[in-house]
Structure 1
Amino acid sequence: MRSKRRHKAGGWLARLLPCHLRHRDSTLFKLTVLVCLVFPGYILLFNHFSNLGLPGEIRQGGEQAQETPGRTLHLEPVKSTQSTSLHQSRLKKDALLGDISQGKAVRGDGGNQDTSVVRQERDLHQGRGLVNYSQHKTQLISGIRVLYLGCYRDETERTLRALREGFLTDLRRMTVALCVRHCSKRGSYYAGLEFHSECYCGKRIYHNQPVRDNLCNATCAGNTTSTCGGAPYLSMYQILVENGHHATGGQQAQQIAALDTGLADDFRACLPRPITPWKQSIFLDGFVTFDDKLTITSCIATCSEKKFPLAALGAGTECHCGAFSPEYRMQKVLPLGDCNIPCRGDVKYYCGGDGAVSLYQTAAEDTRCNGTITLKPEGTMPLVAVSSFPGSGNTWVRYLIERATGIYTGSFYNDGVLFKQGFMGEREKWTKGNTIGVKTHRFDEKHVRQFEAAVLIIRNPYKAIISEHNRKFGGHVGFAPEAQYTKGTEWTAFVTGKSRTWANTAVNFIQYSKRVHVVYYEDLQTNLYDNLKRIVKFLKVPVDEERLLCVLSSPLGKFKRSGKPKLPSTFDPYTEEMKEMVDLSLKTVSMALKLRNCTGLPKDYDPRIQL
C-alpha cells in the first residue's frame, strides 16, 4: 500500500517515463525526469544556432556543424542542390550578425544577452588581452610571400566591409592558398578569409579592428587543418611582393608599407611641384586640366587618351599630362606623406599635396625613342658583355640600353621568346660585332677574356637567388611552389650552389675583364637617369639627352607590368647556415671590388657584415 501511494505521489511526472525507469525515491525520480526534459531542449537550441550559421555553416545533407573542444569548427561544403536552403540560412545569419555587431547575441527565445564574444571585444577596446601581432611571421603560400596580420572584425554590408575590391567564394575548395593566389593576381595588397568559404581582396583595410585570434575559428572548406576566418571575422593576410625585374621608382618601394597608402596602380613617386603659373602644365609642352571631381583613374585616362606617358595630380583637383624634360626629370623624390591631399572625386586616394604632385605612369609610351633602334654593320662594334647572375635584371638593362642608344643588344643564348618580344639582336651571332652589348651569364675565364669590356650587373644575392629559384620552378612571371622551400633538401642545395655562382660571376668579370663597369640593380631603380647615362658613356657612344629622358618617362614600355606599387619583401626563407654561405660570397665579391677600385657593394645587401 505504501508503495502505491509513493508511486502515485509522482503524479503526471511519473507517467512520462516507461515503467522500468520509474523509481521508488521521488527526489531522484524528479531529478531524472528534469534532465530528460531539459537536455532535448538544449539540443534543439544548439541546432537552431547551427542552422543560423554562427559561427559555422550548414553541413552536407542538412547535418549541423559541431564545435570541437579546440574551438575549431569542422565544416563541410554545401552541395549546389542546397543553394536555396543555404541562401535562406545566410539571410538568417546576416540578421543574427547584425545583432552581434550592435553588442547583442540572440537567445533561443528571441531575447538578447551579453556573450563571450562581446565581452572579448569589450576587453579589447579597454586595452585588455590585445594580441601582439608583431610576433606573427611571414609565410610562403603557393610561392607567394605573405604576412599574417591576425583576426579582423568585418561588417556584413558590402559597402562597410574591411576589404572591398574583390570577392571569391568556393563552398567546396576554399583554402588560404586559393584566396591568396586570387588576390595576388588582382594586384591586391590584402587577402582576407571569412566564414570558411569566402575570400575578400583589397588594396587597403577600410576599418582597422583586429580582435582575438580565436574569434577566427572556422576551418577552410578545402582544408580543415587551416583557419578561414569566423563570423563576421577575417583571417587577414598582407601580400608581400618583391620588386620585379622591370619595376621602377625603387625609393618608393621602401615607403609603401603602411596599411592605407591612398595610392593606386602605376604609382611612381611623390615629386616636388615645379614653380609654374597656376594654370600652366608642370610639363614642358604638356597639358593641364582642373576638375572638382578629379580621380586618379580619370586623370590617367585623360593623359593616356592624349598620348602622354605621365600623369601628375596636384592639390586634389589638378591633372597634368606630359613627359620628362631636362628641367623636370625626378631630380628629387619626396616622402609619400607629402602627397596627402585627397582627390576631390574620391577621398580614399591622394592627389598630390601642398607643393607636391603624385606621379603615375599611363598606358602611353614616350615616342622620342621609338622606331629608330638598329643593328650596326658587322664588325663595327666592340664585343661588350652585359653580364650578370641570372635573376639580376639583365633583360631589363638590355631594354634600357637599346632605348637610350638606338642600337640593339645581342645575346650568347639565342632566346626565341625574347626575339619575339622585340630584341631583334637576339638571333645574331654573338661574336658578329654588330650589337652594342651581348647578354651572358657565363663566367669562366676564357669566356670573359673574349670581350673587350663588360657591363656587370650586380643584385642583392638574397633576392637574386630567390628570383632565379622562382624562374626555375614558376617560369619568368611565376613562383616556385611552397614545397620547394619547405620539403626535402632542394632549396638548401640550390642556395649552396647559387651563392657560389653569384660570387664567381662577379669576381671573374671584375678580375679578368679588360674594362668593367659595375652597375647595381637597386641603383638603377632609385636613380635611373644618372646610372643609365653612366652606362651609355662607358659604351663609348654619344649621349642622346632626348633618348635618356624618353627612357625615364617610359622605363618599362611594352614590357610594362600593370599593378600596384610594390611592397618591400620581408619574407626570409634563409636559415642561419644558408646566410653564412651567402655572407661568405658577399665578402668575396667585396674584396674583388676593392682590389679593382670599383664602387663597393651597397651596405643594405647585408647590414650584419662589414663590406
Structure 2
Amino acid sequence: MLYDLRKMTSSLCHDTCSESGYQFAGLEYGAECHCGNRISSPRAPEEDCSLMCRGERGSPCGGVGRLSIYKVEEQLPGHRKFRNVHYSGCYKMPKATVGTFPIYSVQTNLTVQSCIETCTDKELPLAVLRKPHCFCTWTSSLFSLSQQPRDLPCVGNRDRNLTGTAVSTEPTDDGYYQVYHTPVLDSRCKERMFLPQRSDPLVALSSFPGAGNTWVRHLIELVTGCYTGSFYFDGTLYNRGFKGEKDYWKSGRSICVKTHESGQKEIEMFDAAILLIRNPYRSLMAEFNRKCAGHLGHATDAQWKSKATLLVAEWPDFVASYAPWWASHALSWLKFGRRLLVVHYEELQKALFPQLRRITSFLNVTVTEERLLCAQTNQDGHFKRLGSQRPSFHPFTPDMRRMIDSFIHTVDQALKGRNISGLPQEYLPR
C-alpha cells in the first residue's frame, strides 16, 4: 500500500500498481493506494466513494472503507516498466531441476523483458531464462546465498538495470540460466505478526533522523516476519503497513523499537540497541527532504534557499541545529547503551546479506535462506525515496563542512574507544 496525505492522485496510484505488476489500482480515504489482481467484494453505491484525491481535485479517491477501483492500463508487451526488478545472477542447474518449476513457456523471441512480464503476470517472484525457455518460480535454496552465481557464461547478455528495453539473452555455456527478481513479493514473505510471547530484552533500533530507520525496519520485518515497534506514532507509516506503530512501545510484542531519543534516561530504558549510523551529509539532506516533502518526496530548490516557515527551519539554521545532534546521538548511545550492535547504513547497502545476518543474530532470531532472498527481492519496498534528486547547487558551505567533519572525527574516535570499527572511509576526510 502507498499512502500520501498531501499529493495522492489517481495517476500516481495507477503508475505505482502498474510498475509493481498489478492489474487493479484502488484508492481509499483520499490518500491511500492499494494494488491487486482481483476484486473480491461486491460493487458499492457510487455515493460511498465521496472523498476526492488529496492531490487531484475532482478525482474520486474512495471513501471510508470503500475503494475507487481503476483497471490498470494494459501496456504493449515489451514496453512495460517495472519497479524493484533486480538481476540475481547466472546459475547452473540441471534440466530436471528447472523442469519442476511451476510455470514454463517457450518464446521464440525470448527477451529478459518478456520473461519478467510473464512471471509478473503469474505472480511469481523469480524469472529464470535461457533462450528460448522462460521459467517462473518461488525463491528457494536452489539460488543459495552461499553459492556464488557465475556471471561468466552470461556476460554481455544481461541487463542489470532493466528499464523496459527488450534485451536478448543467450548464455554461452550449457546448463546456465539467468535469474531475475520480478516486482512480485514472494507470498511466503508477506506474513507479519507480533511476538507470541513478551520479548526480553527490550531492543531499540536507534538512529538519528534521516539515517534510514524506516528502511531498516522494513528489512527486519521482511526477513523475520515480526513487527517492529516505535517510541512514537506515525500514522503515515502505520498506513504503509508498519502495524507496530500503534502498539505500546514497551509491550514486548515487537522485535525491536524505533527511537531517535538520545537522553541517558531514554537510552537506559532499553536493554540492548541496534545503533544505525549514516553519513551525516546524507542524513541531514534526507531529514530536510522529509520535513519539506514527506517520507518519499524531495525538497525543491526554492525550499533549500527559502526562509524559515512554521514547519521547517531555514537550511543553514537546520544544519546548525541538527549536525551537533547527529554527533551527540551517536556519542550518547555509545556512552550509555548497555549492549550495542553498530550498523552503518552504507555497509548495509553494499553487503545486504552479511549485515542482515548480523542484525538477526543480535536479535536472537533464526531466519531461513528463503526469507533472506525475499529481503533481496523486495529490499527497497515502497519506503525509500525514488531517484536521487538533489538541489541544483551544493547545499553545504565551507563553514558547514568544517563543523560536520569535526563531528565525524569525534564519533569515529568514540567508536574506536569502545573497540568498535570506526566510521566508513567515505564519511571522511578526517
TM-score surpassing 0.5? Answer: yes
1:440 paired with 2:259, answer: yes
Q: Provide the rounded CA distance (Å) in 1 between the counterparts of 2:385 and 2:98.
A: 26
- Supply the AA of the counterpart residue of 1:600: G
Counterpart among 371, 382, 395 of residue 573 in structure 1: 395
1:601 is matched with which residue: 416, 419, 423? 423
SS of 2:343's partner is strand
Letter of the aligned partner of 2:183 in structure 1?
Answer: A
Paired residue type of 2:411: V
Aligned residue type for 1:584: S
Instruction: Please identify, of 595-604 and 466-475, the stretch whose mean Cα deviation from structure 2 is larger.
Output: 595-604
Q: Which letter does structure 1 place at the counterpart of 2:91?
A: P
Task: Output one character per residue of 1:355-394: Cα deviation in whole Å (capped at 9) or x when no partner.
Answer: 687654423211223325224344x432111111112221
Is 2:113–2:165's contact at 8 Å kept on the other side of the alignment? no
Amino acid aligned to 1:578: M
Is 1:275 the equivalent of 2:63? no
Per-residue Cα deviation, 1:242-264 (whole angstroms, up to 9, x for no partner): xxxxxxxxxxxxxxxxxxxxx96
CA distance in 1, matches of 2:170, 2:217: 33
TM-score using structure 1 length: 0.49
| RMSD, aligned CA | 3.6
Residue 414 of structure 1 is matched in structure 2 by 233
In the alignment, structure 1 residue 321 sits paired with structure 2 residue 143: no
Contact 1:375/1:425, CA 8 A, preserved across alignment: no
**1:373 corresponds to:** 193
- 2:282 and 2:247 map into 1 onto residues whose CA distance is 31
Q: TM-score, normalised by structure 2?
A: 0.68
Is contact 2:324–2:407 with CA below 8 Å preserved after alignment?
yes
Q: CA shift at 1:402, angstroms?
A: 2.0
Check whether the contact 2:86–2:181 (CA below 8 A) recurs between aligned residues. no
Q: Which residue of 1 aligns with 2:58?
A: none
Cα separation, 1, equivalents of 2:117 and 2:143 = 22
The answer to whether the 8 A contact 1:312-1:357 is kept is: yes
Alpha-carbon distance, 1:481 to partner: 1.9
Q: Percent identity?
A: 38
Q: Does 1:307 align with 2:117?
A: no
Seen in structure 2, the aligned counterparts of structure 1 residues 352 and 466 have a Cα distance that, compared at 3 Å, is farther
Q: Any idea what SS the aligned residue of 2:134 has?
A: strand
Q: Report how far residue 546 of structure 1 moved.
A: 3.6
**Equivalent AA in structure 2 for residue 393 of structure 1:** G
Residue matched to 1:485: 304
How far residue 476 of structure 1 moved from its aligned partner, in angstroms, is 1.4
Residue 273 of structure 2 aligns to a residue in which SS? strand
The code of the aligned residue for 1:328 comes to F
What is the letter of the counterpart of residue 378 of structure 2? S
- For the 8 Å contact 2:145–2:369, the answer to whether it is kept is no
> What displacement does 1:455 show?
0.7
Preserved CA contact (<8 Å) 1:270 1:357: no
Structure 2 residue identity aligned to 1:540: N
Which moved further from structure 2: 329-338 or 542-551? 329-338
Residue equivalent to 1:550 = 374
Summarize the alignment of residues 232-381 of structure 1 with structure 2, pairs less than 5 Å apart: 265-266=82-83, 269-277=86-94, 281=98, 285=101, 287-314=103-130, 317-329=132-144, 339-341=155-157, 349=167, 351=169, 354=172, 360-378=180-198, 380-381=199-200
SS in 1 for 2:396: coil
1:166-192 CA-to-partner distances (Å, cap 9, x unmatched) read xxxxxxxxxxxxxxxxxxxx99xxxxx
In structure 2, stretches of 5+ residues that fail to align are 1-17, 20-79, 309-313
Q: Report the equivalent of 2:202.
A: 383
Residue 5 of structure 2 aligns with which residue?
Answer: none
- Superposed displacement of residue 320, structure 1: 4.0
Measured after TM superposition, the shift of residue 466 of structure 1 is 0.8
Q: What amino acid maps onto 1:293 in structure 2?
A: N
Q: Secondary structure at the match of 1:525?
A: helix
SS at match of 2:253: coil
Q: CA deviation at 1:328?
A: 2.0
1:537 is displaced (CA, Å) by 0.8
Q: 1:311 to 1:320 in 2, by over 3 A?
A: same
Q: Deviation of residue 474 (structure 1)?
A: 1.1
Asked whether the 8 Å contact 2:274–2:341 carries over to 1, the reply is yes
Q: 1:524 aligns with which of 345, 348, 352?
A: 348
Alignment check: 8 A CA contact 1:270 1:336 kept: no
Q: Give the letter aligned to residue 327 of structure 2.
A: A
Deviation at 1:412, TM superposition (A): 0.7
What one-letter code is carried by the residue in structure 2 that aligns with 1:299? C
Residue 273 of structure 1 aligns to a residue in which SS? strand
Partners of 1:444 and 1:508 within 8 A in 2: yes
Contact 1:373 1:403 in 2 (8 A): no
- The one-letter code matched in structure 1 to 2:126 is L
What is the distance in 2 between the residues matched to 1:547 and 1:400?
A: 10
Q: 2:33 — aligned with what?
A: none
Larger Rg: 1
Question: In structure 2, do the counterparts of structure 1 residues 372 and 414 end up closer, same or farther at CA, with 3 Å as the change threshold?
Answer: closer
Distance of aligned partners of 1:373 and 1:324 in 2 relative to their CA distance in 1, 3 Å threshold: same
1:464 to 272, 283, 286: 283
Aligned position for 1:533: 357
